[in-house]
């Protein structure tokens, strides 16, 4: 069965509604009133406002933003374009039950473009392959296309099996002679794995000799606080890591909910509410609280 939304459930939303006077929900809610200049960011917030507040007018505004975009091209050459296509699919997944939303199957295929074919041809360009897989998985879920989902999951497992060092860095991304922007690349690769994990729950538990997506996330998180110890490239500073986290670190709410981060309180004090149009949306609202543990009945 297709999930209601790509990255969170209706019960996640209800948990946030029930705790709207608690942090981080209380601090995140005003962001739904924001008017960012970027069309994708604005559509994300309006679509989330629709599903959280049942605000049909906000949903209508989000639909109008989507319809104004030219998403029909096959320009997936750059990493930014792939990330933004994923962001648009995330928005569209929130709008599927709006009265003004038409059948979206065609739209989902258009936004995904030829990502599946490009994923098959991505070869050893790992960072690109991971984000293509994220886009392919999102499209596969929305289209109920098991082959797309399986193809993306295969890329995910191959990354865990072959490319994550036991320390947590991505082999072939950061340990390349002369590479630049290595922390940004590590951050982006980790984000792709986390987003795929959140879309396909069985992937969170996937590991190879205890190496998993969480291994990469823990490594990436550590150097957010200690950039001077980043050995792959000189010049990394707290200003740089904070800016990267501000732009694309929303997925760390997902990581923390799954496995609480050591030092997470310091991150959240600096950065909440976490929001990224391409890396999960307003996750301090949707993922900021951990669902209560299920009660276990005892029989005597």
The gap between the terminal CA atoms of the chain, to the nearest Å, is: 38
Average pLDDT for 56-69: 95
For 10-286, which CATH class? Answer: mainly alpha
Give dist(CA 89, CA 74) in Å, integer.
15
3-class SS at 126?
helix
pLDDT band at 300 (very low <50, low <70, confident <90, very high): very low
pLDDT digits (tens, 9 = 90+) for 274-287: 999 999 999 999 99
Asked whether the beta carbons of 131 and 86 are under 8 A apart, the reply is: yes
Cis? peptide before 256, omega within 30° of 0: no
- What is the pLDDT at residue 110? 84
- What is the pLDDT at residue 1? 43
DSSP 73-125: S----SHHHHHHHHHHHHHHHHSTTSTTPPP-HHHHHHHHTTHHHHHHT-TT-
- What is the pLDDT at residue 114? 83
pLDDT digits (tens, 9 = 90+) for 182-216: 999 999 999 999 999 999 878 999 999 999 999 99
pLDDT band at 116 (very low <50, low <70, confident <90, very high): confident
Kindly report the average pLDDT of the chain as a whole number. Answer: 92
Asked whether the beta carbons of 85 and 113 are under 8 A apart, the reply is: yes
User: Looking at residue 226, what DSSP letter applies?
Assistant: -
Q: How many CB atoms lie within 10 A of CB 177?
A: 4
Asked whether the beta carbons of 26 and 51 are under 8 A apart, the reply is: no
DSSP 239-300: HHHHHHHHHHTTHHHHHHHHS--TTHHHHHHHHPSP-BTTTTBSHHHHSSSPPPPPP-----
Q: Is the pLDDT of residue 249 over 50?
A: yes
pLDDT band at 71 (very low <50, low <70, confident <90, very high): confident
Give dist(CA 39, CA 41) in Å, integer.
6
Give the lowest-confidence range in 8-17, 148-157, 173-182, 224-233. 173-182
Give dist(CA 170, CA 187) in Å, integer.
10
User: Could you tell me how far CA 56 lies from the centroid of its own chain?
Assistant: 25
Average pLDDT for 133-159: 96
Q: Which two tokens stand for residue 73?
A: 């091209």
Query: Which CA distances in Å does 119 have to 46, 159, 227?
Result: 31, 13, 32
Q: Is the pLDDT of residue 3 over 80?
A: no
- What is the pLDDT at residue 74? 59
- Domain spans of the chain? 10-286
- What is the pLDDT at residue 296? 53
């Amino acid at each position: 069965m297709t999930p209601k939304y790509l990255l969170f459930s209706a019960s996640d939303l209800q948990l946030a509604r029930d705790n709207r006077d608690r942090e981080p929900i209380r601090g995140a809610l005003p962001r739904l009133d924001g008017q960012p200049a970027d069309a994708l960011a604005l559509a994300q917030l309006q679509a989330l406002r629709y599903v959280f507040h049942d605000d049909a007018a906000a949903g209508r505004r989000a639909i109008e933003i989507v319809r104004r975009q030219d998403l029909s091209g096959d320009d997936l050459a750059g990493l930014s374009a792939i990330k933004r296509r994923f962001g648009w699919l995330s928005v569209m997944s929130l709008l599927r039950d709006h009265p003004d939303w038409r059948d979206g199957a065609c739209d989902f295929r258009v936004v995904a473009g030829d990502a599946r074919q490009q994923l098959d041809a991505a070869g050893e360009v790992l960072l690109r392959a991971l984000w293509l897989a994220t886009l392919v998985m999102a499209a596969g879920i929305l289209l109920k296309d098991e082959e797309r989902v399986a193809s993306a999951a295969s890329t995910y497992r191959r990354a865990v099996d072959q490319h994550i060092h036991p320390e947590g860095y991505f082999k072939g991304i950061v340990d390349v002679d002369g590479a630049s922007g290595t922390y940004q690349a590590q951050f982006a690769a980790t984000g792709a794995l986390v987003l795929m994990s959140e879309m396909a729950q069985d992937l969170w538990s996937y590991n190879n000799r205890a190496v998993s997506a969480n291994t990469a996330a823990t490594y990436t998180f550590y150097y957010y606080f200690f950039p001077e110890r980043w050995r792959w490239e000189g010049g990394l500073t707290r200003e740089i890591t904070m800016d990267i986290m501000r732009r694309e670190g929303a997925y760390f709410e997902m990581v923390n909910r799954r496995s609480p981060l050591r030092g997470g309180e310091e991150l959240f004090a600096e950065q909440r509410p976490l929001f990224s149009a391409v890396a999960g949306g307003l996750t301090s609202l949707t993922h900021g609280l951990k669902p209560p543990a299920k009660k276990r009945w005892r029989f005597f």
